[in-house]
Amino acid sequence: MNSCFHMSLPCKNIEETINYYKDQLESEIGRKTENWVDINLFGHQLTFVLTENFDFQFPFYSLDDEELPSFHFGVVLDSDEWENTYDKINSQWMFDTVVKKTFFEDKNGEQSTFIVQDPNGYYIEFKTFRRRDEIFI
C-alpha cells in the first residue's frame, strides 16, 4: 500500500464544501455525516468537520515577486495530470481565470503551480515539477 496524506480541517458548511470539491475539483466524496465529510483529493484524505465560528489569518509571503498564501495545502501532480486539472478547473471557474505561475525557472526544483480557494477560505495549491526527483531539492 502506498502512503497517503490525511488532514482534518474545520469547515463552515458541509454541503457547500461537498459541492465545491465534487463539482469544481471533481473529487470523490467518501463517508459523511451531518457534521463531517471525507474527500478523496488525488488519493489523499481530507476530512472537513463542521464547527462553530473559526478564524484563520491568511498572511501572505513573497516568492519571485508573487504574493502567496503562507497557509495552504495541495498536491503534486505529473505534468499531464496537472495540465488536465488546470483545464478542468479553469473551464468551470465562475469568476477570474486561475493563473499559472512557474517558480525557480531553469533551476533545481523548477515547478509550475496554480492556487484556488475553497468555500471555507482554504487555499489549495496544485503543482508539478519539471523533474520529479527535485521535489525536495
When mean pLDDT is compared across 39-43, 50-54, 91-95, the lowest value belongs to 91-95
Query: Does residue 64 form part of some domain?
Result: yes
- For residues 46 and 64, membership in a common domain is answered with no
Q: Inform me whether the pLDDT recorded for 94 exceeds 80.
A: no
Tell me the CATH number at 103.
3.10.180.10
Query: Does residue 68 form part of some domain?
Result: yes
In the chain, pLDDT over 90 holds for what percent of residues? 38
Query: Does residue 1 form part of some domain?
Result: no
Q: How many domains does the chain have?
A: 2
Helix and strand totals (H; E) in the chain: 2, 10
Instruction: List the strands of the sheet with 6-11, edge to edge.
Output: 6-11, 44-50, 36-41, 28-32
- For residues 68 and 45, membership in a common domain is answered with no
Query: Does residue 55 form part of some domain?
Result: no
Place of cell 515539477: 129
- For residues 44 and 64, membership in a common domain is answered with no
pTM of the model: 0.78
Which range marks the domain in which residue 124 is found?
A: 60-134
